[in-house]
Amino acid sequence: MGEAWWSKVSGSQLAQGDLLPKCLLPVFTGNSGDEAVEEYLVRARLIIVTQSCDLENDKAPNVALYPIHKLDEFEAINEAFARFFMRVGLPSGIAPFK
């Protein structure tokens, strides 16, 4: 398949672009007065989108995360996306489509 366009990291330091494959997320379904009530936890594949410099210098009070889906899972719930790439094909020449 060729050289990987990503690298595995380890350690406790978070950085922009890190993949958190089994991150536990609280799900809040109601509130009690001014505070949300946590109902349960779910596991999700997430990527960190907060800038690394803000994380390193404690400038970000929270870490912004975004869900990552495998292509077949994404296409299963986004039929228009799947139909588009069936017509035009995946991009070439850029990672990860090289």
* Per-domain residue ranges of the chain: 19-88
At 49 the pLDDT is 94
pTM for the model:
0.63
At 3 the pLDDT is 66
At 24 the pLDDT is 92
Residues 6+ apart with CB under 8 A from 86: none
At 85 the pLDDT is 64
At 44 the pLDDT is 92
According to DSSP, the residues that pair with 65 across neighbouring strands are 48
Q: How far apart are CA 66 and CA 92, in angstroms?
A: 24
Q: How far apart are CA 80 and CA 92, in angstroms?
A: 20
Q: How far apart are CA 22 and CA 5, in angstroms?
A: 21
Q: Where are the beta strands (DSSP E) in 1-98?
A: 19-32, 35-48, 65-67
At 94 the pLDDT is 54
DSSP letter for each residue of 25-40: EEEEEEEETTEEEEEE
At 51 the pLDDT is 94
Between the CA of residue 45 and those of 28, 38, 56, 62, what are the distances in Å? Answer: 18, 20, 22, 18
- How would you write the pLDDT of the chain (98 residues) with one tens digit per residue? 456 666 777 778 889 999 999 999 888 877 666 777 778 899 999 999 999 999 999 899 899 999 988 878 887 887 777 776 666 666 666 555 54
